[in-house]
């Protein structure tokens, strides 16, 4: 159980509070910049240089490199800003849902249908 879960007690969920906002500031600022196409292209052209410019930590840099959403969240990434990062690779929220839950996309979608019964 992570420290965020200890603070807030919600399993499988990181509440984006001050501690996360502090931890993730550079990472989120980088992802926020992806609202501009020129920045998305600049990132694709030179990932390392782009990450350096925003002062990412090594752990954040690794998680970006590995497209590892759960790790990005753990290191202060905010889902709304991370969505801009995921968008560069044309991942939709169901791709992301599957990745984070360890299911296939079809299994993830089936689980959602199930929730409606």
Closest C-alpha to 32, from 107, 99, 106, 84: 84
Alpha-carbon gap, residue 111 to 65, rounded angstroms: 29
The distance of closest approach from Cβ of residue 94 to another protein in the complex, given in angstroms and rounded to an integer, is 6
Identify whether the C-beta of residue 32 lies closer than 8 Å to the C-beta of residue 81.
Answer: yes
Candidate ranges 19-27, 45-53, 59-67; the one touching another protein (CB under 8 A): 19-27
Candidate ranges 7-15, 44-52, 60-68; the one touching another protein (CB under 8 A): 7-15
The 60-79 site mask, x for binding another protein (CB under 8 A), equals ---------xx--x----xx
Alpha-carbon gap, residue 93 to 22, rounded angstroms: 25
34 binds another protein (CB under 8 A): yes
Alpha-carbon gap, residue 69 to 93, rounded angstroms: 12
3 binds another protein (CB under 8 A): no
Identify whether the C-beta of residue 100 lies closer than 8 Å to the C-beta of residue 69.
Answer: yes
**Residue ranges binding another protein (CB under 8 A):** 8-19, 21-22, 25, 28-29, 31-32, 34-37, 40, 69-70, 73, 78-84, 86-88, 90, 92-94, 96-97, 100-101, 108-109, 111-113, 115-116
């Amino acid at each position: 159980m992570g420290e965020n879960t200890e603070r807030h007690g919600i399993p499988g969920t990181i509440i984006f509070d001050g501690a996360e906002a502090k931890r993730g500031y550079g990472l989120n600022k980088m992802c926020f910049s992806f609202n501009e196409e020129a920045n998305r292209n600049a990132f694709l052209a030179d990932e390392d240089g782009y990450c350096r410019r925003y002062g990412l930590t090594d752990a954040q840099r690794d998680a970006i490199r590995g497209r590892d959403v759960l790790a990005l969240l753990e290191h202060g990434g905010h889902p709304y800003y991370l969505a801009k990062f995921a968008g560069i690779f044309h991942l939709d929220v169901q791709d992301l849902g599957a990745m984070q839950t360890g299911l296939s996309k079809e299994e993830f979608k089936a689980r959602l249908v199930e929730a409606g019964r």
